[in-house]
């Protein structure tokens, strides 16, 4: 039972809606009311500027890093670490402190990877970048990264905690980005509102 504290902690950490709090503090608006409609770093940059967006990125990474690192150090069980990382991502996407309307989870899962295996983090980032360049659609590239992250780590003989993090959190990422499957992008990480105006 004690080990279940860590996944619960992961969810609570993940649920801290930094982009919402910071954008509301700086601009007096809800970050989800414009741009992509999500509580993300890129949407914070659109509404509050690059510096505030960078702060949100660091904080969102920490939401995955801190609870996963604690689970890794004090629980020591692979399933606890993987569940903690997965629940941190779930918390970021469906935060209890923000009416279950959060972000997309990429920064938070990145923090979880950094807590257990930085090499796995770099490999998964490389997969995402490669797929974005090939598919030229961020949401679809993220879906495939979530699905194929764990198998690629297995092929590279990375079968430690990070493999199970990729399996659990990766599937959550894939499910979340499936909702954005038909979102319109001009290219890479760009403003969807402008893309829709241009297409209209």
Q: Could you please report the per-residue DSSP string of 111-145?
A: HHHHHH-HHHHHHHHHHHHHHHHHH--HHHHHHHH
State the chain's mean pLDDT as an integer. Answer: 90
Separation between Cα atoms, residue 165 and residue 158, nearest integer Å: 11
Please name the residues in contact with 90: beta carbons below 8 A apart, sequence gap of 6 or more: 11, 14, 172
- Sorted by where each begins, the domain ranges of the chain are 2-199
Q: What is the pLDDT of residue 13?
A: 97
Please name the residues in contact with 164: beta carbons below 8 A apart, sequence gap of 6 or more: 78, 79, 81, 82, 150
E strand or H helix at 2: none
Half-sphere exposure of 29 (CA within 13 A, CB side): 13
Look up the pTM and report it.
0.89
- What percent of the chain has pLDDT above 70? 91
Highest mean pLDDT among 34-38, 56-60, 134-138, 176-180: 56-60
Residue 141 has pLDDT above 60, yes or no: yes
For range 125-152, the mean pLDDT: 94
Can you say whether the dihedral through the CA atoms of 26, 28, 32, 34 is positive or negative? negative
Residue 10 has pLDDT above 90, yes or no: yes
Half-sphere exposure of 46 (CA within 13 A, CB side): 22
Residue 1: which pLDDT band, with cuts at 50, 70 and 90? Answer: low
pLDDT higher at 93 or 195: 93
Separation between Cα atoms, residue 71 and residue 6, nearest integer Å: 6
Residues in the chain: 200
Residue 60: which pLDDT band, with cuts at 50, 70 and 90? Answer: very high
Residue 75: which pLDDT band, with cuts at 50, 70 and 90? Answer: very high
Neighbours of 171 (CB within 10 A): 16
Is the CB of residue 14 less than 8 Å from the CB of residue 94?
A: no
């Amino acid at each position: 039972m004690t080990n279940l504290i860590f996944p619960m902690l992961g969810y609570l950490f993940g649920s801290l809606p930094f982009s919402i709090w910071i954008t509301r503090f700086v601009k007096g608006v809800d970050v989800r009311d414009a741009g992509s409609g999500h509580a993300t770093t890129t949407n914070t940059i659109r509404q509050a500027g690059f510096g505030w967006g960078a702060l949100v990125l660091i904080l969102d990474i920490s939401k995955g890093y801190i609870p996963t690192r604690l689970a890794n150090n004090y629980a020591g069980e692979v399933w606890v670490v993987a569940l903690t990382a997965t629940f941190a991502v779930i918390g970021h996407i469906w935060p209890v402190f923000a009416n279950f309307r959060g972000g997309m989870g990429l920064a938070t899962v990145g923090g979880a990877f950094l807590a257990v295996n930085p090499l796995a983090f770099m490999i998964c980032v490389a997969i995402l970048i490669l797929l974005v360049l090939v598919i030229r659609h961020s949401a679809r590239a993220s879906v495939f990264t979530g699905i194929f992250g764990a198998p690629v780590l297995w092929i590279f003989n990375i079968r430690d905690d990070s493999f199970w993090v990729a399996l659990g959190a990766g599937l959550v990422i894939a499910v979340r980005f499936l909702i954005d499957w038909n979102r319109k992008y001009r290219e890479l990480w760009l403003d969807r509102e402008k893309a829709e105006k241009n297409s209209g």
